[in-house]
Each structure stands twice: as structure tokens, then as C-alpha cells.
Structure 1
Amino acid sequence: MTMLLPDAAWRHRPGLDHLLVALGAAEGESRYVGGAVRDALLGLPVNDLDIATKLDPHDVVDRLKAAGIKAVPTGIDHGTITAVLPDGPVEITTLRRDVSTDGRRATIAYTDDWQEDAARRDFTINALYADPLTGEIADFFGGIADLEARRLRFIGDAAARIAEDHLRILRYFRFLARYGDNEVDSSAYAACVAAANSLMALSRERIADELMKLLGVAAPISGLRLMIEGGILQPVLPEVDMSGVDRVERLIAREAESGIAPSALRRLAALLPPDPVLADQIGARLKLSNKARKRLVVALERGEQAQPLRALAYRIGIEGAIDQLLLDPLRQVTALAGLEGWTPPKLPISGGALIARGLEPGPDVAKALAEVQKLWVAEDFPDGARVGEIADQIVSKFQRARQ
């Protein structure tokens, strides 16, 4: 029996029909491929849409331009063109076969054979194609049966697939965590363990991107445990051990309890040893952005344990305060309710107002203002009238000290 792609909102995106006409879908020139087909069959939301085509990439560009569709040559040397539609991009890649690979990049040749293109993909569940018009699925390697069984299999020999692209080691554990039943294919796991050192050959950006995707899935724990047990992360993150996985597991429970949206970066902070300096060094090694490294450092800082949450949020920002609280098992997640809908206010008084109260202009003004702010924060940000009383009190204290 032929399996058909279920109907869903993403198949009716504005401009998609026009794109499919330009790409000769009715003539069998182009099909949906990969994640969109996989997730549609599982009833999951489809965000990224990929199309595989028999057309040469330069022909794709010409056809899109003729149809008035913006074409961006994002990876034209590898056969990939991005079509920009009103609801977002669609990646169009010419069918390919590998000529040679070194584990980091492949030399490819174009083909018009769908099965040859499928054979160079990583997992059976990612090598599914769908006719955009009829919805008919083309499955060359048993991907549909594997999806139904929640089974993750490499296409062909696992070691050979990993040798073609070392990143597939990390992708294996991410896909296992998201789509597998976590009963590991022993030959695939053994191939990943045997090749773990080859991760050293990859750029740190690719490793970080894949690690963040793994940490972002709903249930990454079993995948992370398998990685630690097999020494997968040892070559690139020797600092991470099973206690880090325990911290991530605890954090995920606290995220769920508090209703706070999961964050891959917060989970990375939990995975790393609780040392802000080391976290910054690891962030630099993974080539994370300065903003991401700063968030890691702030999340792992431990200041005054008893500091009220709003006072902490005022000092380090709401995001940092949420991270710190969720990562600290000694603090109750119920405290996060105090930040709901709250924006850190601005101190409603200036140095000029202290001078107007009789404080001598000079260095004392900044010192006095800092004391006013400290009391104002300690009293949970009272309104202007109370701030006026605090200001009078502080000005009088400074005046007495001057006498």
C-alpha cells in the first residue's frame, strides 16, 4: 500500500504552489525531502522545508527568476539554492551522489537518480521523498517502517556513513533523543564510540550547533548518558561527566515545574561544571557568541544566596535571574511568579534631586545615589514618595558626616 503525505497547513504556504510550478513538480522534477516529510508523517509541526530536484542549480536560479521568486545562491557550489517565500525560506538542492569524502566535506556530482541521492543521506528516516502534488512517498531504505517502530538506523554501514561526515556521530544522538525509542542499534553505537576522536577534525562551530540542537530537544537525557558512557564528548568536552547530565535532568524537571520555556544554553550551563571561569573558556572553545558566553557565565555565578529574586533580576537582568534560580536546587521555582509581567524599573530620582535637598555637589552625590538605590532595591522598589523619604534620610546622613 502506498503511503501518502498527510495534508497540513505548511503545504498551503503562500507562494509554495507557484514555486512548485517553477520547479516542474508536476513533471516529476522536484519532491519534498527529509525533515518535512519525516515530521509530517509523525504529525509534528514542519518548520524547515527542503525540496530535492533533478534540475541543475543554475537552472533552478533561472526558473525562480523567471517566476519572480527571489533566489539566493546559499550553497550553489554544493547544489543548494534558497527560494525566499512570504512565510520564509525553502531550500532547493539538486540530487547528488558523493564522489569522495574526508569526514568534513564531500566532493559531489549531480545525478537524476532519486535512490542515489537517498543513499548519501545519513538515516533511513531522513531519506524519505514526497511528490508535492499526489503526496506519494518514495522510501528506498525502509524509513517509514523505522519511523513507525521509533527506530534510528544509518543507511547502509554505520562506520562508512560516519567516515563520510564525522558530525553524524552527534546527529545520531540528537535524532535518537528526538525520534528513537532509545533502544540503541548496537552496531551504530559501536561505530560512534570507535570514531569519537574524529570529532576533533570538525570545526567547533559545527560541534556547538549540533550540541545545542541536542540540548534543545524535549528529552535529551538518555542520549546524553549514552554519549558520556561511550566517551563521545571526551575529545571535545573532556570537562563534562555524568554529574553534568544529572544537573541537566534536574533542570529539565524545574523548567517543566515552573512553566519556563526550555533553553538549550541554560541546559549547557547545567551540563558544564558549575564554574563561571571554566564555562567562559569552554564557550570560547566552542566559538559561541560573546552574548552566549556572557549568559553562561552569569547563569553559573553564585552571589548572595538569599537575595530576593527581583533584586537579583534588577542587578543581572531577568534572563540571568531565571537561569540562576532554575540552576540552583536550593531555591524554590515558585519564586519565579514574582517576575511574571514585571519589568525592572528605573530609579525614580537623580543626583540633581539630592543636590536640591542640600547635598554638596561632588563625589558624594554618586555615593549617596548608590545608597539610595541600594535601599530602594532592598525595599522591593517602592514608589516616588518613599524614594523621597529614603533620599532625605541619605542626604542627612552625608551632611552629618561632613560636619
Structure 2
Amino acid sequence: MTSQRRLVDAPWLTTGPAGRVLALLNGDGEEARAVGGAVRNALMGLAVGEIDIATTALPEEVVRRAKAAGFKVVPTGIEHGTVTLVVEGSPVEVTTLREDVETFGRKAKVMFGRDWQRDAERRDFTMNGLSVSIDGVVHDHVGGLPDVDAKRVRFIGDPDRRIAEDYLRILRFFRIHAAYGEGAPDREGYLASIRGREGIAGLSAERIRMELLKLLVAPGAYAATEAMVDAGLMLRILGGVTYLGPLSKMIGIEHSLGLAPSAVLRLGALGVAVTEDAKRLTQRLRLTNEENKALDSMGHRWWRLKGMDEARARQRLYRLGTARYRNRMLLGWARAGRDADAEGWAHLFALPDRWTPPVFPLKAADFMARGIAKGPALGHVLALAEDAWMANDFPMEVDVITVIADQTIARFKHDHRL
């Protein structure tokens, strides 16, 4: 049974790129509506981002109308009924209504249709199965309105069947719950996720990474992650131990410092105790090079940061740079336990705000002038001198630097019997 409600404040339905597309595709026997996340967010009073359009018009008719209106057309998935229209420089995805003919996983055989209810029934969760017409009327064919009101994430129809169609829906269930749900996850969906968890092994690492990183920055990230651990899902995703305590601590630290949620920091807290963990996560999730480097640096002897004085902290900042210094500092803080000196950790975290690492003042030419020839020996002497300079708290006075250079040469010659 279909129920309705009206959106009272949705200017994007009649203005901007989405409004222009809706106006274009309505009329002459065809209907178009905004569907999915945009409708859900509008009903929840949240920011509306990407707006997807569904229509009764066949793809060829969508293309014909778009070209006549002067819109750029990109056939992103036209064989499946999807075209992207570029309007005012913004992409708007338009998909013809569909209904299943045969279902076998993600490669279900579908045909184009004109039935809004059957199209809605193909979607994953009730709150994502809503649509809104250009007049602001929200159409609910799957029971999504009461679930939006209750902030309850629930599969459309049989959860086991929905999951078997695409096992990524297990991760999406927890991710959407973390972002828009309240309380415990829907029990039927939770139990179906447990029953279907072996199917996670068949998912691509890239798809898992995308959902997991989105989940980790959602408002309910900790509770959703804890539920996934209890369901035996995280071991299949991360392939190792998960650390809920450090994750909770990392989230609290971000809040206390006024930092934006960071998926990489939270993933590090959840899964990295040593650098080998970072390598495993990179392989299992196909992390980007930057994500891999960040996790690897965070996991490198973070335990040495505990109780570190400011002089030693300046050396770490000089070696690591601000971003990696702070990331490692945050992981050390998150793993320091309940008795951690929060004020002391925060003070060291803020070091880049009050001290800028200077540039090492000695150059290769300074040592060549002292008789060191080009080659490995020169690089070794430079490294020795830099270590000595750091140990002396980064002096910049010429006489002190001269002494460091001379003492480094003397030490090098002594060690090598030159």
C-alpha cells in the first residue's frame, strides 16, 4: 500500500540542475521523480547532496529530450537504463524504471517498466526506496516513511534475498545504520547479515574499502563497528584482530580536539598495532598509496611516543613532517589506555602550532671543504652531522654549527681510522 507525505522545503526540486531535469522529463505521458538518498536526507532535515532521478521514459527518450534542451549526455550505463545529464556543469544521473525478470546475484535480468512500486521493491532499504515528485509529494511504496521517522534501517522484503543479490549490502546495512539509524540494528537484517557473511569473501576489495571508509566516519561508527565485530564480520573484512577500545578512544580524541572524522585514523585505531597490520590492511582493502603510507607510519613504533618530552617530540616532528607526526601521535594516544595523560598528549599534538622545524644548515659542500670526497662516505657524514644537530636541539648559530661539523669529521675519521 502506497503512502504519501509532502516535502515543505525542497527548492532543489524546481531549481538547479535536478529541478531542470525533472521539469524536462515530466509531461507528454512520462513521469520523473527524485529517488533514494536525497529524499531520505530531505525528510531527516539533513543536507541533500547528489540527486538521482528515476523516470518512466525509456533511455532513448531521455537522450532525445536532453539533447533538444542542449544538455550534455553521457551514456554511463545506457544498456541498464542509466544516462548522466550534465546540467550547469553538474552531473545528474537518470535511470529508467526497472523490474526484475530473473534474479541471480548482482547480474539480475531486468526489463524497463513503468511501475513505481516494482522499481522501489528492487532497492535495498526502505528509507532508500522513497521517491518525490516535482510537486513535493513523497511516495512510499515499501514502508520507508515510518522507518525514516524511527531512524530504523530495514531491508525491503526478505533480508536474506536482498543480501544474496549483492553481499555488499551487508556492509551497506551497517554503514547506513551508522549514518542514519538509532539504537540497535534491525534484528532481522542483523541476523541475515550473519547468515550471509561467508559471501563477503566474494566481494572485490575496492567495494569493501569504499563502504568501510564511509562507515568509519559516520556518526554511529563505533556502535556499528562493535555490532559487526560481534557478528563475526570484521574478521572477514580486515583479516586480523580488531581493537574496539582504541577506535572508541580515537573518536573521543577527534571530538575533544575539534578534528573532522578521519577514516584513515579510525581504521588505524581499529586495525593497526604494528606496521605488518598496515601492510595486511592495504592488501585486503586495496588502499591507496597515501592511505598505505599513513597507516604504515602510524604503526611504526608508536609506543615510543608515550611519556615523550618536548625535545624528543621536536625530533619526531622534524623527521616525520606535520601530518605523519600528528597521525602517529594520535594513534599512540588512542592506544595509551584509559589512564593516558590527555593534557600531555594534547600538548605534544599541538607542537606544530608553536614550533616549525628549521632546515638543516649544513650541506655536502661544507664537508667536501673539510676533505670528504663525494660518495657513500659523504652521505654518511651528513647523516651523522644531522643527528648531532638534532640532539643539540636544532641550533642555528654559526659557531655551534661549525663545532658540530668539525666534531662529526673527527668522529668519522676516528671510527674509520682515517
TM range (shorter): 0.7 to 0.9
Taking only the aligned residue pairs, the percentage that are identical comes to: 38
Q: Which residue of 1 aligns with 2:175?
A: 174
User: Aligned letter for 1:76?
Assistant: I
Distance 1:345 1:120, change over 3 A: farther
Q: How far is the alpha carbon of 1:214 from its aligned partner?
A: 0.9
Q: Secondary structure at the residue paired with 2:347? A: helix
- Deviation, 1:334, is 3.2
Could you give the per-residue CA deviations for residues 319-344 of structure 1, whole angstroms, max 9, x where no partner exists? 22222111113461332222248765
Alpha-carbon deviation of 1:377?
4.3
Offset at residue 171 of structure 1 (A)? 0.9
Residue among 338, 349, 353 paired with 2:351:
338
Closer/same/farther in 2, CA of residues 400 and 220 from structure 1, 3 Å limit: closer
Q: Is the 8 A contact 1:104 1:201 kept in 2?
A: no
The aligned runs of 1:208-223 (5 Å cut-off) are: 208-223=209-224
Instruction: Measure, in 2, the Cα distance between the counterparts of 1:158 and 1:263.
Output: 31
Find the residue that maps to 1:328 and give its secondary structure: helix
Structure 2 partner of 1:301: 300
Q: Which piece of structure 1 moves more, 90-99 or 34-43?
A: 90-99
Question: What is the TM-score when the length of structure 1 is the normalising length?
Answer: 0.88
Q: Distance in 1 between matches of 2:67 and 2:356?
A: 47
Q: 1:353 to 1:90 in 2, by over 3 A?
A: farther
Aligned in 2, Cα 1:25/1:152: closer, same or farther, shift over 3 Å?
farther
Match of 1:362 in 2: 374
Asked if 1:20 is matched to 2:19, the reply is no
In structure 2, the partner of 1:183 is 184
CA distance in 2, matches of 1:376, 1:173: 51
* 1:396 alignment partner in structure 2: 406
Instruction: String of CA shifts for 1:264-299, please: whole Å, max 9, x gaps.
Output: 122111111412113212311222222222222111
Secondary structure at the aligned position of 1:282 is classed as helix
SS at match of 2:234: coil
What does residue 30 of structure 1 align with? 32
8 Å contact 2:12–2:18 — kept in the other structure? no
Equivalent of residue 127 in structure 1, options 126, 129, 135: 129
Structure 1 residues 9-50: Cα deviation after superposition (integer angstroms, max 9, x where no partner): 755764444333333379652111110110111111122211
- Work out the CA distance in 1 between the residues paired with 2:401 and 2:67: 67
**Match runs of 1:4-403 below 5 Å:** 4-8=6-10, 10=12, 14-24=16-26, 29-86=31-88, 88-132=90-134, 134-241=135-242, 244-302=243-301, 304-305=304-305, 306=308, 308-329=312-333, 330=336, 332-340=345-353, 346-355=359-368, 358=370, 360-363=372-375, 365-378=378-391, 385-386=396-397, 388-400=398-410
CA contact (8 A) 1:6 1:41 kept: no
* Count of matched residue positions in the alignment of Structure 1 and Structure 2: 396
Q: Give 1:302 shift.
A: 1.1
Distance across 2 between alignment mates of 1:80 and 1:187:
32
Structure 2: distance between partners of 1:310 and 1:72: 52
With over 3 angstroms needed to count, the CA separation of the structure-2 counterparts of 1:76 and 1:376, relative to structure 1, is farther
Give the whole-Å Cα distance in 2 for the aligned partners of 1:246 and 1:106.
Answer: 41
Q: Which amino acid in structure 1 is aligned with residue 35 of structure 2?
A: V
Distance change (3 Å), C-alpha of 1:173 and 1:341: farther
SS at match of 2:106: coil
The separation in 2 between residues aligned to 1:19 and 1:12, in whole angstroms, is 9
Letter in 1 for 2:405: V
Contact 1:309–1:336 under 8 Å retained in 2: no
Q: Distance in 1 between matches of 2:271 and 2:28?
A: 51
Provide closer, same or farther for how the CA distance between residues 354 and 64 of structure 1 changes in structure 2, counting only shifts above 3 A.
Answer: farther
- CA RMSD after TM alignment: 2.8
Alpha-carbon distance in structure 1 between the residues aligned to 2:58 and 2:69: 17
Mean alpha-carbon deviation: is it higher for 219-228 or for 347-356? 347-356
State the alpha-carbon separation in 1 of the partners of residues 40 and 373 from structure 2.
69
Give secondary structure in 2 for the equivalent of 1:3: strand
Deviation of the 1:75 alpha carbon: 2.3
Deviation at 1:362, TM superposition (A): 3.3
The one-letter amino acid paired with 1:37 is V
**Cα pair distance change 1:399/1:266, threshold 3 Å:** closer
Distance 1:120 1:380 in 2: 65
Mapped contact 2:59–2:81 kept (Cα < 8 A): yes
Tell me whether 185-194 or 5-14 shows the greater mean CA deviation: 5-14
Distance 1:310 1:101 in 2: 60
Residues 371 and 123 of structure 1: is their aligned pair in 2 closer, same or farther, counting only changes over 3 Å? same
CA distance in 1, matches of 2:351, 2:107: 50
* TM-score (structure 2 length as normaliser): 0.85
Distance change (3 Å), C-alpha of 1:291 and 1:394:
same
- Equivalent-residue separation in structure 1 for 2:257 and 2:326 (angstroms): 10
**Which residue number corresponds to residue 341 of structure 2?**
none
User: C-alpha distance in 2, partners of 1:71/1:257?
Assistant: 47
Q: State how far apart, in whole Å, the 2-side matches of 1:341 and 1:218 are.
A: 32
Name which of structure 1's ranges 122-131 and 156-165 shifts more when overlaid on structure 2: 156-165
